Structure 1
């Protein structure tokens, strides 16, 4: 039971992090800024 909860919690955290990254990239105003943000996220991963 504990293992199941830990897996579900991990999945939820991963999904929330991906949503946060998507929102950060979506706020970019042009293609160059999208690329900068993607590089920034990759460098900090």
Structure 2
């Protein structure tokens, strides 16, 4: 039971992080900013 809860919690945290990253990129004003944000996410992870 504990393993199941930890698995679900991990999935939830990973999905929340993915959603946060997608929102950050989506707020970009133009293609150059999208690229800068994507590089920033890749280098800081």
Instruction: Classify the TM-score, shorter chain.
Output: over 0.9
Q: TM-score, normalised by structure 1?
A: 0.99
> Considering only aligned residues, what root-mean-square deviation do their CA atoms show, in Å?
0.2
Structure 1 unpaired stretches of 5+? none
Q: TM-score, normalised by structure 2?
A: 0.99
The alignment covers a number of residue pairs equal to 45
Structure 2 unpaired stretches of 5+? none
Give every structure 1 segment of 4 or more consecutive aligned residues whose post-TM-superposition deviation is greater than 4 Å: none
